[in-house]
Amino acid sequence: MTVFLIIIVIALLGITFWQMSKILKLSKSQSSEDPTIASDKDNKIQGYLMLAFLIVFNIFMLYNFWSYSKFYLPEAASAHGEDYDRLMFISIGLIMVVQVLTQFLLHYFSFKYKGEKGKKAFFYADNDKLEFIWTIIPVIVLAGLIIYGLFTWSEIMNVEEDEDTVVIELYAYQFGWKARYAGEDNTLGKANVRFIEGINTVGIDESDSYAMDDKITSELHLPVDKKVLFKLRSQDVLHSAYFPFFRAQMNVVPGMITQFGFTPTITSEEMRNSEYMVDKVTEINQIRKENSKELVANGEMALDPYEFEYYLLCNKICGISHYNMQMKIVVESEEDYKEWLAGQESFGETMAKQEENNKQ
Amino acid sequence: MSALANATVAQDHHGHDDHGHHHKETFITKYIFSQDHKMIAKQYLITGLIMGALGILMSVLFRIQIAWPEQSFAIFELLLGEKYAPDGVMNADAYLALVTIHGTIMVFFVLTAGLSGTFSNFLIPLQIGARDMASGFLNMVSYWIFFISSVIMISSLFVESGPASAGWTIYPPLSALPEAIPGSGMGMTLWLISMAFFIAQSLLGSLNYIVTVINLRTKGMSMTRLPLTIWALFVTAIIGVVSFPVLLSAALMLIMDRSFGTSFFLSDIYIKGEVLAHQGGSPVLFEHLFWFLGHPEVYIVILPAMGLVSEIMASNSRKPIFGYRAMVASILAIAFLSTIVWGHHMFVSGMNPFLGSVFTFTTLLIAIPSAVKAFNWITTLWKGNLQMNTGMLFSIGFVSTFITGGLTGIILGDSTLDINVHDTYFVIAHFHLVMGISALYGLFAGVYHWFPKMFGRMMNKNLGYVHFWVTAIGAYGVFFPMHFIGLAGLPRRYYTNTAFPYFDDLADTNVLITVFAIITAVVQLVFIYNFISSIFYGKRATQNPWRSNTLEWTTPVEHVHGNWPGEIPSVYRWSYDYSKMNIDETDYVIPGQDFVPQNVPLQKNEEELNH
């Protein structure tokens, strides 16, 4: 593919230069024609090119939608994600209607009204009615979009914490993530970077009575169909917790705690077995296989086959390894989640172990 | 051509009574420390083009890395050196630095100084009928401060620890702490100093433009007769004066945080095994200050392009611009709204969600004046007699990319939808089309159109056509597919996407984009060739090659200090009387000539419009 594209580029460049030299020659030989100001012939050629461009551009847009729409993320794996996707599709639909219409008018007019000597342009300076129409139509359409958007926004952002909410702290640092679960008391212990010392890597306040049962993990497990509220904390610079599959994102800001909440609705297992993901993973593995051949030929390791997992990315430039600051997310049934959580070591246990080690 | 049109250009040397402009000029006063606005405009243009070439070259380099990650290229070894491209493989430091400096150069040095600096200087005095800027000296100073600022920015590429690499938005703490990224050492210091100079030149320039437009308009040039170019440049200058000082304050506070231990933006930071003493600041504050300039900045970039396009389109359509008053009103509306929408860059920054709602509202409002402008441009073409000069093609291209890029703003301006596409390639596609490519088209349109006035020679149209069409196809080829990889959730500023196998199927699209980017970049050489060779060997220009109405075309082809050798022409009409018919609808107002320059008095056979 790559080689093929490079060949195309070189061919296109060649054609460009060949055409250019031809044009230069032509423009020199016809000394009667002004090489600097558009003649009727130029107007005609450029007018037709505008028409051609309109057609090519429309085909190109169609091609993009046809072959790249599959890139759009799979069905949202969170409760609010459905609303998000609906609003997104409505917006894209509206935009494309306006896009096709206005691009058509723009390029078609450029073709239709290409200049000719002796042709008279229509002196048309103002029309209040027309201008009123195309002011009011965007106003109405946008009002609809704004109202829809704002309702969805406030629904997503106003997370009310109740007894059932799972509160998890996400802790960001150069270049990784940690999750802190509240433990049995369902309350996160106090924390600040000033308490970071040794194995207390996220700066938990050891004197806080809520702290000892907190559990720090390097994977993020979430129970399906339960409201999760993330409290985000950064150790050093700005990061952004980006959960594309859940249509969720919030920056992580040193010096303050930000939050974002959502309810996961599709387990990792279900997502992995969805038609979308099976197709996608098959294609990706095909690509990886192809790439591996090249690597092996160069004496390097082959790529591992890919299996889908949800992941969390950093989406705010944070330094050299920004591109690889990720965390695996597992959405599972509540029983599985509880079982996994029970198997994790609490902060108190970690500290006790440490002390014992120190004594020995 | 009728004698009327040239009435005021009569070479009446006895009328040259203004100031003593006859003093001898040396090479230095004419070409280097010139106080003539036309020369200063050319200095801005050429500096801007050189910076632009650098910025585009950088984008090609990092696009190659994105398409073929961590592969060896001789060009990397050649340009980046052993430290940043060991064995020809670009490293992450170099990648982030290139992305950062590309953004900085293109936004500030090319599209702000190169575009509005050039055309404000060149067109304001010529189109309003003034001998020069209100203060020629300040004008000269502002260019030379810009020059110093450019030199400092370029020199930051050569410091030991590398140039700034925290992204062009330089959010602290990353930009404040050399421990966090090497580019935040000396490189960042130079970046901030360079920007401080840049802001100073922008303010000096803007104040000069405002004063000139308000005070130095010739007789009869009321505000409602100003060409739309001047309206756009005038309002741009006002936005600049309102918002640039805020960036300066942000930069100064960042300098204080970096060097003098203050804590405006820093709090609770643990880095390299140490807790920093900074306490109580907030990076969100920096984001507010940055975007209070940063958002108006995109209108500082796009408004001049809009003005140039309006003028070129009317002139080449041989028709008045449609809805002049609506065009002025929308410029003013955009300018006002531009200062109260900055928060849409910060929907997920951790600021109060209620603020997000407010900013969604104001942001989507901007779509209304923008839509009015787009519809008015399209109507200007309707039933015209379109002269397809290169400037015209770029103007049509401008409207096309402005619409394509602007429409996705409806998605990004909606706080809800922004959640999942924030900081992805969708954003890159959006702003490159709507302000990057569009503003560049405006710049090209302006250069092709006013080149005869700037250099007294014409540019070659066929080379212009090649330049336009390859650029038009290439630009869409680069940025249209980007929307889709953004919708796949691919974040921007990733050195490589291979860390996430999920993105493996996007690799081909990224290669395609890079191929288009290389083609588009290479074809700019055609422009550079056309530009340079036309300066020396282009066909000599006539006085009014595009048969335009505005005053600059009443000045002689050879530049004179003071613009008009005789008296300054008076103005009797607006600048859009193209194809205006006489009262009996039998012929044009001036028989056989489809345009009526602004300096032609009202004729007996024409109807008076309210302009």
Q: How many residue pairs bridge chain A and chain B with CB atoms within 8 Å of each other?
A: 404
Is B381's pLDDT higher than 60?
A: yes
Query: pLDDT (tens digit, 9 = 90+) per residue, B398-419?
Result: 999 999 999 999 999 999 999 9
Both tokens of residue B11? 């070479």
Percent of chain A with pLDDT over 90: 73
Q: In the predicted model, what is the mean pLDDT of chain B? A: 92
CB contact under 8 A, B505 and A68: no
Give the residue on A whose Cα is nearest the Cα of B388: A43
Looking at the partner chain, which of B171, B367, B377 has a beta carbon nearest the beta carbon of A238? B171
Torsion of CA B344, B347, B352, B353, to 10 degrees: 100
Query: pLDDT (tens digit, 9 = 90+) per residue, A61-90?
Result: 999 999 999 999 999 999 999 999 999 999
Query: pLDDT (tens digit, 9 = 90+) per residue, B497-538?
Result: 999 999 999 999 999 999 999 999 999 999 999 999 999 999
Shortest alpha-carbon distance between residue B560 and chain A (Å): 24
pLDDT at position B1 = 38
Amino acid present at B242: V
Query: pLDDT (tens digit, 9 = 90+) per residue, A165-203?
Result: 999 999 999 999 999 999 888 889 999 999 998 889 999
Can you tell me the distance from the alpha carbon of A344 to that of A352, in angstroms, rounded to the nearest whole number? 15
Q: Report the first-to-last Cα separation within chain A, whole angstroms.
A: 61
Of B283-292, B387-396, B479-488, B560-569, give the lowest mean pLDDT range: B560-569
Tell me whether B222 touches chain A (CB under 8 Å): no
Is A40's pLDDT higher than 80?
A: yes
pLDDT at position A184 = 85
**Residues B47-60: what's their mean pLDDT?**
96
**Residues A280-284: what's their mean pLDDT?**
95
CB contact under 8 A, B174 and A326: no
DSSP single-letter state for residue B382: T
Tell me whether B542 touches chain A (CB under 8 Å): no
Q: Please, what's the b/e burial string for A244-262 (b: 16 or more CB within 10 A of its CB; e: otherwise)?
A: bbbbbbbbbbbbbebbbbb
pLDDT-derived band at A24, boundaries 50, 70, 90: low
CB contact under 8 A, A150 and B357: yes
Query: pLDDT (tens digit, 9 = 90+) per residue, B591-601?
Result: 889 999 999 99
Can you tell me the distance from the alpha carbon of B502 to that of B511, in angstroms, rounded to the nearest whole number? 17
Taking only residues 149 to 188 of chain B, the set having a beta carbon closer than 8 angstroms to any beta carbon of chain A reads 166-167, 171-174, 177, 180-181
On whether the CB atoms of residues B110 and B50 are closer than 8 A, the answer is no
Give the residue on B whose Cα is nearest the Cα of A138: B368
B463 contacts on A by Cβ (under 8 Å): 20, 23-24
Give the residue on A whose Cα is nearest the Cα of B68: A2
Which strands make up the sheet holding A326-332, listed edge to edge?
A220-223, A326-332, A310-314, A239-243, A248-252
Looking at the partner chain, which of B419, B502, B509 has a beta carbon nearest the beta carbon of A247? B419
Of A321-335, B253-267, B511-525, B582-596, give the lowest mean pLDDT range: B582-596
Tell me whether B317 touches chain A (CB under 8 Å): yes
A123 contacts on B by Cβ (under 8 Å): 319-320, 578-581
Looking at the partner chain, which of B266, B270, B487 has a beta carbon nearest the beta carbon of A196? B270
On whether the CB atoms of residues A334 and A226 are closer than 8 A, the answer is yes
pLDDT at position A359 = 81
The complex's ipTM works out to 0.92
C-alpha distance from residue B470 to each of A251, A255, B351, B394 (Å) = 39, 49, 43, 12
pLDDT at position B130 = 95
pLDDT-derived band at B441, boundaries 50, 70, 90: very high
In this predicted model, which residue has the larger pLDDT, B305 or A351? B305
Is B14's pLDDT higher than 50?
A: no
pLDDT at position B169 = 95
Can you tell me the distance from the alpha carbon of A63 to that of A124, in angstroms, rounded to the nearest whole number? 38
Amino acid present at A321: S
pLDDT at position A25 = 65
pLDDT-derived band at B464, boundaries 50, 70, 90: very high
pLDDT at position B55 = 96
Can you tell me the distance from the alpha carbon of B57 to that of B67, in angstroms, rounded to the nearest whole number? 15
A98 contacts on B by Cβ (under 8 Å): 403, 407
Shortest alpha-carbon distance between residue B601 and chain A (Å): 19
A119 contacts on B by Cβ (under 8 Å): 385
Q: Domains, chain B, ranges and CATH? A: 36-267+279-554 (1.20.210.10)
Give the residue on B whose Cα is nearest the Cα of A129: B323
A200 contacts on B by Cβ (under 8 Å): none
For residue A318, give the nearest of A179, A177, A175 by alpha carbon.
Answer: A175
pLDDT at position A299 = 87
Between strands A220-223 and A326-332, the pairing is parallel
CB contact under 8 A, B460 and A36: yes
CATH architecture entry for A166-270+306-345: Sandwich (2.60)
